[in-house]
Structure 1
Amino acid sequence: MRVLVDVTHPAHVHLFRHAVEAFRERGHEVRVASREKDVTTDLLDAFGIEHTVLSRKRSGATGVVREWSTRGARLARLAAGFRPDVVLSRLNPASAHVASLFGVPNVVFHDNEVAGLLDRVTAPFAEVVATPAAFDRDLPTEHVRYQGFHELAYLHPARFTPDADRLRAAGVDPAEPYSVVRLVAMDGHHDAGSDGFSQGALAALVEGLDDHGEVYVSSEADLPGDLAAHAMPVPAEAMHDLLAFADVYVGDSATVATEAGVLGTPSVRYNPLDTEMGNFASLAEYGLVQSTQSEREAVETALGLAADPDAGRRWRRRRRDLLADNIDLTSFVVELTEEVAAS
């Protein structure tokens, strides 16, 4: 079969990259459409995945409309030449609309109950939408639930082994204590009304963590001068190696909080929005991610974990419980896509 995979965000690269490899190993032809947002194309290049850039992220309501209109037209041209049997994407209106236009099924993976308008203009056009079992509502199309998380498509032990040598080559000693802080730009459709960590809270967090070892800060925006010394020491494709050996993670990124949790790294998520996702209710049951709407509580919790010599052991035990209950998602992505394309 011919599979068109649409990738518009760095997290989507990780979600689908092993599936792309598996499709090709199984004799399928794959075409990847990409978008210039953050490190999306850098990751695709680093993993050796050929791709066609169709658009770049624009800011403001007018910019967003212009980008997605252009992207839809370019994706339609790509589909016309490739003639896919199935389109695979994360929640993405351009993919759903183009697939519908060409009369081919769109398989959508989705895990965010607060996607709002994006959800409403995408899901009705999809052939099937697959979500984690913890997804806390029903969708207006065929809705398949699986026992797992998007992050287990690439961080399940069947797919990922942390590479200590890669860290050492970047000057990071995985045997020494260190913390990872992640800051997002808070400009996503689901981030409306949030400013993320305040400068005061961020300064207190980094200063406090620095008492317990190195602090590495990953940010979608440029770091202020006083944090420049804490900039990420590894390339984007090595972020998960850095997370896996960290003593604590704290940040306002939902994805990275989940990644840290499923890797068994003590994880604190600052969630300033008055909404919650089913994934985090499930992760809280395992004790793998601690979420709070209070930045003061996020800072205090992270500092407490950094000072706790037994925290890592507890998280590793909890991770074993999670892995016993949840699937290697890549295998499910491949099987579901093949099933839908053949029907």
Structure 2
Amino acid sequence: MKVIVTIQHPGHVHFFRNAVAELDSRGHDVFVFARESEVATDLLEAYGIEYELLAGESDSMLSLATVQATYEARLLHRARRIEPDVITAIGGVAAAHVATLLRTNSLVFYDTEHATLIQRLGYPFADVICTPECYRGEIGDKQVTYPGYHELAYLHPDRFDPDPSVLDAVGLEREETFAVVRLSSWDASHDVGQGGFADPRAVVSRLEDAGATVLLTAEGDPPPDLEAYEFTAPPERMHDLLAFADLVVGEGATTAAEAAVLGTPSVYVNSQSLGYTSELEDEYGLLFAFDGDDRHARSLEKAVSILESTTPETDRWERRRERLLEERIDVTSLIVQQIESAARATDADRSAVATNLG
């Protein structure tokens, strides 16, 4: 089978990388096309995934439309020559449009309910849309739900074993208490009008006062007076760091969920909530979300209470993670199964057309 995978964000690389390797091992031809976004291409190269870059990175909402149009046009040109059996993506606007024009099947994965622009542009054209069971929204007959999260495609213990040498790489002692702080850029279409922390400097100060070494990671540039807190490590080592952190505090839902499924308590500060962040909080107690007007103050209180707890916490978080893993799946297995299913459906459709023409 011929499979096209499209990548438009670093998280997409993590989501698909194990599936790409497994599809290749099964003898399928996998073609990966990317649009530059943050460190997406760095990750593709770090994982040894062959890819073709079709468009550059946008620096504004206005340029995003131009970049996206260029990306779709070039993807269509490449796909016509490949004649894929399936095109797959997260979000999947370009994948769904190109697949429709080529009369092949598109398979879209998504977990972000409030990204309404992507849904309006992509969902009507997609053939199959896979969402976590906790996704808030009914899509119709084309929706396939599963008991898991995107992050379990690459952080399930069958796929990931954290490497403690990352602590040496960022200059930490093995027993040192540390917190990772993640700042968002707020430039995505679904982030317009939203927000997280009132003042990132206050976050760093409070965590330090609670006895934690703070490591900062940010989309874009952090405030100049916080640059000293940024750490230097290859982007593919980020998950190792999250696994060994005592706490993760951030504005990004993906990082918050990554920490949670790794068994690291996660404080998520964002004016928008999501189905999967709510489930990780309500069902498993591994994530603590704060989205109201007083989210900044309340989130810092929670973060400090976790760091200053006098009772051993490691076993408690690990027990919660173990229950999560018992009830949720290795999502890479689902990705591979759905891709092969969609490809077989395309072959069946083509055979039916050929028979009718005959």
TM-score (normalizing by structure 2): 0.92
Residue from 327, 330, 334 that aligns with 2:329 = 327
Determine the structure 1 residue equivalent to 2:152: 152
Distance in 2, matches of 1:104 and 1:232, equals: 44
Determine the structure 2 residue equivalent to 1:134: 134
Seen in structure 2, the aligned counterparts of structure 1 residues 205 and 62 have a Cα distance that, compared at 3 Å, is: closer
Determine the structure 2 residue equivalent to 1:56: 56
Deviation at 1:205, TM superposition (A): 1.4
Determine the structure 2 residue equivalent to 1:234: 233
- SS, match of residue 34 in structure 2: strand
Seen in structure 2, the aligned counterparts of structure 1 residues 296 and 28 have a Cα distance that, compared at 3 Å, is: same
- SS, match of residue 268 in structure 2: strand
- SS, match of residue 107 in structure 2: strand
Determine the structure 2 residue equivalent to 1:204: 202
How do 1:98-247 residues align onto structure 2 when only pairs under 5 Å count?
Answer: 98-199=98-199, 202-211=200-209, 212-247=211-246
Aligned length in residues: 339
Determine the structure 2 residue equivalent to 1:84: 84
Distance in 2, matches of 1:179 and 1:62, equals: 36
Distance in 2, matches of 1:101 and 1:23, equals: 25
Residue identity in the other structure for 1:110? Y
Query: Which ranges of structure 2 fall in alignment gaps of 5 or more residues?
Result: 346-358
Q: Is the 8 A contact 1:6 1:88 kept in 2?
A: yes
Distance in 2, matches of 1:88 and 1:222, equals: 31
Deviation at 1:88, TM superposition (A): 1.1
Deviation at 1:141, TM superposition (A): 5.0
Distance in 1, matches of 2:256 and 2:318, equals: 15
Determine the structure 1 residue equivalent to 2:304: 303
- The structure number with the bigger radius of gyration is 2
Determine the structure 2 residue equivalent to 1:316: 318
User: Are residue 283 (structure 1) and residue 280 (structure 2) matched?
Assistant: yes
TM-score (normalizing by structure 1): 0.95
Seen in structure 2, the aligned counterparts of structure 1 residues 312 and 72 have a Cα distance that, compared at 3 Å, is: same
Q: Is the 8 A contact 1:91 1:109 kept in 2?
A: yes
Deviation at 1:175, TM superposition (A): 2.7
Deviation at 1:167, TM superposition (A): 3.0
Distance in 2, matches of 1:110 and 1:158, equals: 22
Deviation at 1:89, TM superposition (A): 0.5
Deviation at 1:207, TM superposition (A): 1.3
Q: Is the 8 A contact 1:171 1:233 kept in 2?
A: no
Determine the structure 2 residue equivalent to 1:337: 339
Percent of paired sites with the same residue: 42
Distance in 2, matches of 1:86 and 1:137, equals: 25
CA-to-partner distance for each residue in 1:14-68, whole Å, 9 max, x for gaps? 0000000000000011110111111111111111111111112323343121111
Q: Is the 8 A contact 1:123 1:140 kept in 2?
A: no
Residue identity in the other structure for 2:335? V
Deviation at 1:280, TM superposition (A): 1.8
Query: Which ranges of structure 1 fall in alignment gaps of 5 or more residues?
Result: none
Q: Is the 8 A contact 2:195 2:270 kept in 1?
A: no
RMSD (CA atoms): 1.3
